[in-house]
Amino acid sequence: MEVVALRCAGCGAQLEVDADTDNLTCGYCKTPQEVVRRGGTIALKKLGDAISRVQRGTDKTAAELAIPRIERELLELETGRRRQLEAALRITSRIGLANAVIGMVIGFAILFFVMIGMAGAGYDKSILIRIVWVLWWACLLGSVGGYLLLRVARRTDLAKAKALRDAGINGECDRQQRVLRQQLDRARAVVNEH
C-alpha cells in the first residue's frame, strides 16, 4: 500500500498516512483531521469547527508536546547538516590528463630498457639512441609536470564540487529550519495565549 508523509495540522509532526485514508487522529496531539486531496496535492486539515471547538482545550497540550519535538528536530537538523558537510567528497575528473601521465610513466620505463638494450647491441653512438634519450627525458619531465598539474587541477575541481554540494545541503537545511521555526513560533504562541 502507498504511504505518504504528511504534516499534522495540529502539532506539525510528520505522519505516515495510507494513500486511501480519509480521516485520522494524530497519535501525538490527538487532533482529528481529514486528508484533503486537491489538484495533485495532498494535505491534512483539522476537522470542522464543532469538533475543533471541542478540541481547542487540547490545543495547548498539543503545542506543549510539539515544542520539545520541534526543538529536537531542529537540533537533529543541525547535526545532520554538519555530518553531511563533513562527509568526504570523491570526484573523478581530468581523466585525460591522468591517462597522459600514466602513459608517460610507462613510456619512461620502457624507453629506459630500450636504451639499455640499444647500448648493449652496440647502438650507443648512433643517432637513434639520442632520439630515444630525448624521448626518455620528455617522458620524465612530462610525468612530473603532468602529475603536479593534475594535483592542482584536482584540488580546484574538488573545491568547486564541494562548494556546489555544500550550497545544496545548506539550502535544503535552511529551508527545513525555516519551516520548523515557524511551527515552533506557532506552538509557543498557542502556549502563551492560555
Residue number with CB closer to Zn ion (8 or 180): 8
Q: Which residues of this protein are in contact with Zn ion, per CB under 5 A?
A: 8, 10-11, 13, 26, 28-29
Residue number with CB closer to Zn ion (66 or 101): 66
Q: What is the DSSP letter of 9?
A: T
Least distance to Zn ion, CB of residue 10, Å = 4
Residue number with CB closer to Zn ion (13 or 35): 13
Residue number with CB closer to Zn ion (86 or 193): 193
Bridge partner list, 16:
5
Residue number with CB closer to Zn ion (44 or 139): 44
Least distance to Zn ion, CB of residue 44, Å = 9
Least distance to Zn ion, CB of residue 151, Å = 54
Q: Which amino acid is at 48?
A: G
Least distance to Zn ion, CB of residue 170, Å = 29
Least distance to Zn ion, CB of residue 28, Å = 4
Q: Which amino acid is at 163?
A: A
Q: How far apart are CA 186 and CA 164, in angstroms?
A: 34
Reported as type and span, the H/E element at residue 34 is strand 32-38
For residue 191 the three cell numbers come to 502556549
Q: How far apart are CA 11 and CA 44, in angstroms?
A: 11
